[in-house]
Each structure stands twice: as structure tokens, then as C-alpha cells.
Amino acid sequence: RSEPGKRAFSSVRMDGSRRSAILIGSVPLKTTEEVFRLSAKHLSGFVHQFPDGEVGTRDYWIRCQREYFAANDALYIPDDAKADGPVRPGFQLRPGRSIEDVSFPDIGYSRFANESFQTFKRLKLEGIFSSDAKFQVSLPTPLAPSWGFSSKVNGFWKEIEAIYEQAMFREVSKLCALIPHRELVIQWDVCYEMALYDDELKDFPLDTVGTRQDIYDRIARCANSVPESVDIGFHLCYGDIGHKHFQDPSSISSAVSLANGISSTTDRSILWIMMPVPKSQTHNEEFFKPLANLQLSDETSLYLGLIHMTDGVDGAKKRIRTAERYYPNFGICTECGLGRRPPETIPDLMKLHADCVAL
């Protein structure tokens, strides 16, 4: 692990009076440049890593990965296939083919990142960003596409996961070779693992993958695939399907436990871990109490996803004051990416970030 204080931004209180903030990833605008310019306009000074908005084919998280499964000659979905998971039929091994025939030579992420970084670099030269601003790349953990697009019959998805995981780590290596490490931050989106961790979803019980330690190990492999010279963070996610969670947590305890497991299992430094705070828990002090059990390294900042457009500054202030009783220093953000929100609401939502960092 790196020494405390060696990370790029060492405190969630940037100047003694303002908190720092992060953008989780997706922004529903048409181009990367629009996202960068709007973000810089409203967030410079307290946000120091800027995502590209996951625009275009990436606008609905992992959905863009389906084409890479479909392009694989060894995989297919039978015409009479029925859903074997909560959403859709998964890809199966084509008759006469073996698992050794399955490969993912390219899954797009390094290409997307490099294209966006060229825009980021140009805007930085124009003075739109400060010289120390970083480009944030958001990646799903390999479990999400592997489970999401593969057949669940006889655990076939696990065979795919082993192959897809290596493909993702190759993408990490490629993008780290293309983008200067001092200007790069990688955020891992931890969503399916969060669903498993609570072990309360009928279609996705914990024993799907084994134990909580198996979850820690998966996430640690993601972290350790990134060079130490590149900052990383984790977005613990309860989803945003139809602007709803796949499960509304009644306590932040699972996120705290998962964060502790990630922190203790991962061999490298972690810049931040982010946890969602539902608006429905604003007046529930019991929700926040487990924050007292959070055990992060000195180098790791906590960010709480407590900014909600529906109750604005007043609601955020209430959640901040309650959380501070159990974990005094943290940054702020929204619960999830902004990609499923109406585009016309984004400027006001970014302004809300600016209003909340002073709380």
C-alpha cells in the first residue's frame, strides 16, 4: 500500500470549509465534450476527476457489452430459449464448440477511454480543466456482464466469467498504456456484488458465487489489475433501473462490511469508496450508525451518495449531519450515475453539487 498522504487529493475537506465531490460516471448528454465542459463549468474546484459521461453506446451501463458476446462465434442464443435469469435468456455454448473456443479479444473500453482522453487533454490545454485534473474511467466489474449475458444453466456463466475477466484486465492494461498514469483514475462499479452481498434477492442469492470472501477476492483482482501509479475508487451500487434500486437498503451496514472486506483484501492503495444513501433513510438514524464500524486505510476517502434532486440542499444537509455523528470526514455525490435522468435536469443537478459541498 502507498503511504498516507501520497494520493492525489488527500482530504475530503479541500480547504477546511468545502467538501470534495465526485461524479459517479454516466451523464445523459450527446457528446463527451458537452459532458466535460458542463462538468468543468459547475464542478471545478471541488471535483478533481472527471468522467466522460459514458455517452453513445455506453449510455446504459453494461448493455454495450452484449454485442461482444453476440460477435463470438462459439456463443449463441437458441430461438426457443427462455429467460434463465431475472431479465433475459443468456448466451450458451454453440453445439459442437468448446469453452476453449470462446474469446473476447476486444471489449471496447480502452478504445472508448483513449478517444475521450484525447478530448480531455485538448480541453485541459485550453484551460477548461486545471493542470491537476484527472480523467476518470468507469468500468463494470467482470461479474456484471458475465452474469448478465451468459446462460445460468449448469453454472455456464462462471466459465464465461473466467474468460471475460481476463479480457477486462487486458483492457485495463491497454488503457493504462495509452493514458498517462498521473492523469488517470479508474472507478470500478460494484453492483452485482452488492446484490449478492445482501443475500436477499431470490434470483441472485449469495451462494451463486460462494461466500462473501469470494466477492472480496473478485473485487481485489479488479483492484490489483491496475498499476499502483493509477488511482482507483469503488462505486458500491444498488442500481438505477427506472430510477429505482434493485433493493432499498434499510441500513448502510452491508456497504460498510463490503468496504471493509475490499480494503482488507486488496493489496494496493484505494483512493475512495462510495456508498449510496437513499432519500428514504433521511430521518432514520439507525441507517447511518454502522458507519462507526468503517475501517478504511488513511489513504482512502469515503464518499456518500446523499445528493438527491428531489429534496435538494435541505435534504442533503440533514443526511450529512446525521452521517457526521458516525464518520466525521467524507465527500459527497449522487447515489448512482446520472445517465437515466432527463438531460435538461443535469445543469441544475451539477449546481446542487456545488451548493452541497459547503454544508
Q: Specify the pTM.
A: 0.91
**Residue whose C-alpha cell reads 462473501 in the numeric block:** 212
Query: Hey, what's the torsion of the CAs at 262, 217, 107, 228, to 10 degrees?
Result: 60
The parts of the chain modelled with pLDDT lower than 70 are 1-17, 60, 82-87, 200-203, 239-247, 337, 339-340
275-305: per-residue pLDDT in tens?
A: 999 988 999 999 999 999 999 999 999 999 9
Q: What is the pLDDT of residue 60?
A: 65
H or E element, residue 118: helix 109-125
List the grid coordinates of 58: 455506453
| pLDDT score recorded for residue 136 | 96
For residue 3, the model assigns a pLDDT of 39
- Span between the terminal Cα atoms of the chain, in Å: 32
User: What whole-number distance in Å separates Cα of residue 90 and Cα of residue 83?
Assistant: 7
What's the CATH class of domain 32-356? alpha beta
Residue 256 CB contacts under 8 Å (≥ 6 apart), including other chains? 275, 290, 291, 293, 294
Domain spans, the chain: 32-356
* Three cell numbers written together for 149: 449475458
Q: How far apart are CA 75 and CA 93, in angstroms?
A: 5
Q: What CA–CA distances, in Å, run from 10 to 127, 294, 320?
A: 24, 18, 20
Tens digits of residue pLDDT in 131-182: 999 999 999 999 999 998 998 888 899 999 999 999 999 999 999 999 999 9
